[in-house]
Amino acid sequence: MVSTGASGNALWGVLTIVAALIIVIVANEVLDRRRRKWALDMAAGDCMTFREVRYASTGIRVAVVLIGVAVAVHTLISAWPGTTSDTERFLFAILSAAVVGLCLLVARMSSVTEVTVAGVELRFRLGITIWRRHIPRDDLSIDGVERVGVVRAGGLGLRYLGGGRTVLTVSPGPGVVLRTRGGERTYVVGSDRADELVDALSPHR
């Protein structure tokens, strides 16, 4: 039988981890707002000609969080009766909290596209930036706009499809196809303002 004290300690452990994750997420949000303000200030000074931040739809974000909570609860319910020590229970509690935390980060995934006089910068974020690419303007060509769907891209987020092709999209919709001059790399960048992005990257800029 699981003691009340052990259950209470595990519960407090889970709550502590979740609270720490929430603090980290809030802190990142504050920093992200400051970065956005800095980016807008740069744009006002004509250093930046285009900037777009895209987030996953509300439905996808809610679904990801609910899946994480369901998996965490199922893990605790199924594994808890078989544990024989407080250490095992605490480890399962940490695992469950980690699952929820990971899903919270995935729910906050976003893509950032910035165009400056020097080129285009692409970023993929899960609360914090985990992937970044800068493509110089003189090494860049535009290869049109195509529809980017979940099935075709193999999912949402940052997708490597082989053959030097990378898709960056957090929601279905138009994607601007960017190629390096040598043809080694292709980036399909999801955008709700595809025409503006193409215009910002056009040679006359």
Task: Report the candidate in 175, 181, 172, 177 with the shortest Cα–Cα distance to residue 193.
Answer: 175
Q: Quote the CA–CA distance of 92 and 107 in Å, as a whole number.
A: 23
The answer to whether 101 touches 23, Cβ cutoff 8 Å, is: no
pLDDT tens digits, 135-191: 998 899 998 999 998 877 788 899 998 889 999 999 999 999 999 988 789 999 999
pLDDT tens digits, 13-33: 556 666 666 666 666 666 666
The answer to whether 127 touches 24, Cβ cutoff 8 Å, is: yes
Give the number of other Cβ atoms within 10 Å of residue 153's Cβ.
Answer: 19
Its pTM surpasses 0.75 = no
Q: Quote the CA–CA distance of 105 and 65 in Å, as a whole number.
A: 9
